[in-house]
Chain A
């Protein structure tokens, strides 16, 4: 039962263009949604998050949009840079029994070509 889905295993874009990474979820009880970026041989690093009561959050080149009715969120990167090439994980945060856990998607590998 995959509660967080990233249906695109990979995405390739040209430098300077927009990258759009998508994520779908099934559980309405998620409190926050987060995006993590992961380079090879490193742990995931936090990128940006959005509360379930918001529909947009922006931080520099990164914007996350949340569509609660569609249970869909997306990460926009504008403009894309070669250094953005990494695996991006969508994650949803839920509090259960006093603990907070993240439920991750399988990731989307973004390649930004110079």
Chain B
């Protein structure tokens, strides 16, 4: 069983640029969530996708957007990058059965540095 995989693992961008991060969810999981983990902080909820629809969003501006594809893989797009966007971006998937328990399966993350 393949776990959650994310790409790229590391990347460096400059302020104002745009970035796309990718995630392949674990087999059989139809829900994908994205979290941002700044240095010294816990992960913060960005948004969740269920069956290709965004069905929940945290306190992040509209320049953070996402997609979920029919195979349940997902993308996180961030436009007009700011220095504070530097963080570890974590993708997590979950099966239907754990949607009420909160148990998520995380990838290793994509570390974004904005200069």
Contact = CB atoms under 8 A, between A and B. Distances in A.
B105 A46 contact: yes
A101 B45 contact: yes
Nearest to A97: B56
B34 to A, nearest CB: 11
Interface residues of A, number: 31
Contacts, number: 78
Contact of A107 (B42, B94, B102, B103): B42
Given A46-B103, A106-B41, 11 more contacts: A32-B100, A49-B103, A92-B102, A97-B55, A97-B56, A99-B55, A100-B99, A100-B100, A101-B45, A102-B35, A104-B43
7 contacts: A32-B101, A43-B90, A97-B55, A101-B33, A101-B58, A104-B44, A106-B42
